[in-house]
A and B are shown apart, each in its own frame.
Chain A
Amino acid sequence: MGSLDTAARPTVAQGFRLQWEPAQEAHVLLYPEGMVKLNQSAAAILTRCNGRRTVADIVTDLESTYGLAGLTQDVCAFIALAVERTWLELLS
Chain B
Amino acid sequence: MSDPMPTPASPRSNGSGRSGPPLWLLLELTYRCPLHCVFCYNPTDFRSVGPELETAEWLRVLEEARELGSVQLGLSGGEPLVREDLETIVAAAHRLGFYTNLITSGVGLTETRLQGLRQGGLDHIQLSFQDSTRVMNDFLSSTRTFELKSRAAALIKKHHYPMVLNVVLHRLNIDHVEEILDMAERMGADYVELANTQYYGWAWRNRDELLPTRAQLQRAEDVTARFRERVGPRMRVFFVVPDYFETRPKPCMSGLGRVFLGIAPDGIALPCQAARMLPGLAFPNVREASLGSIWYDSPAFNRYRGEDWMKEPCRSCPERSRDFGGCRCQAYLLTGDAANADPVCDLSPHHHLVTEAVDRAERRGTARASEHPLVFRDHR
A contact residues vs B (CB 8 Å cutoff): 14-15, 17, 19, 21-24, 28-39, 41-42, 44-45, 62, 66, 68, 71, 74-75, 77-78, 81
Contacts and interface: CB of A to CB of B under 8 A. Distances in A.
A88 to B, nearest CB: 12
Interface stretch (B6-14, B181-189, B298-306): B6-14
Given A71-B1, A75-B1, 8 more contacts: A14-B160, A33-B72, A35-B23, A35-B72, A36-B8, A37-B9, A41-B1, A45-B4
Given A19-B97, A24-B69, A35-B71, A75 B164 contact: no
A80 to B, nearest CB: 11
Given A28-B9, A33-B101, A37-B9, A21 B4 contact: no
Nearest to B103: A33
A42 B9 contact: no
23 contacts: A14-B160, A15-B123, A17-B99, A19-B97, A22-B69, A24-B21, A29-B6, A30-B71, A30-B123, A32-B164, A33-B24, A33-B124, A36-B7, A37-B9, A37-B10, A39-B3, A39-B7, A41-B1, A42-B4, A74-B2, A75-B1, A77-B4, A78-B4
Interface residues of B, number: 28
Contacts of A17: 99, 123
Nearest to B161: A15
A77 to B, nearest CB: 8
Interface in B133-174: 160-162, 164
B212 interface: no
B160 A23 contact: no
A23 B21 contact: yes
B130 to A, nearest CB: 17
B68 interface: yes
A39 to B, nearest CB: 6
Contacts of B164: 32
Nearest to A35: B9
Contacts, number: 80
Interface of B: 1-10, 21, 23-24, 68-69, 71-72, 74, 97, 99, 101, 123-124, 126, 160-162, 164
A29 B162 CA distance: 18
Chain B interface mostly: loop
A15 B9 contact: no
Contacts of B3: 39, 41
Contacts of A35: 9, 23, 71-72, 99
A35 B24 CA distance: 10
B165 to A, nearest CB: 13
Nearest to B160: A14
A22 B8 CA distance: 17
B9 A36 contact: yes
Given A14-B160, A15-B124, A17-B99, A34 B4 contact: no
Contacts of B8: 36-37
Contact of A39 (B4, B97, B124): B4
Contact of B69 (A23, A32, A45, A75): A23
B72 A34 contact: yes
Contacts of A31: 99
A38 B71 contact: no
* Residue among A24, A32, A35, A66 having the largest count of chain B Cβ atoms under 10 Å: A32
B341 to A, nearest CB: 27
Contacts of A75: 1, 4
Contacts of B6: 29, 36-39, 42
Contacts of B2: 41, 74
A81 B160 CA distance: 25
A75 B1 CA distance: 8
A68 B124 CA distance: 39
B122 to A, nearest CB: 11
A66 B9 contact: no
B274 to A, nearest CB: 18
Contacts of A66: 1
A66 B2 CA distance: 12
Contacts of A32: 99, 101, 123-124, 126, 162, 164
Nearest to A20: B97
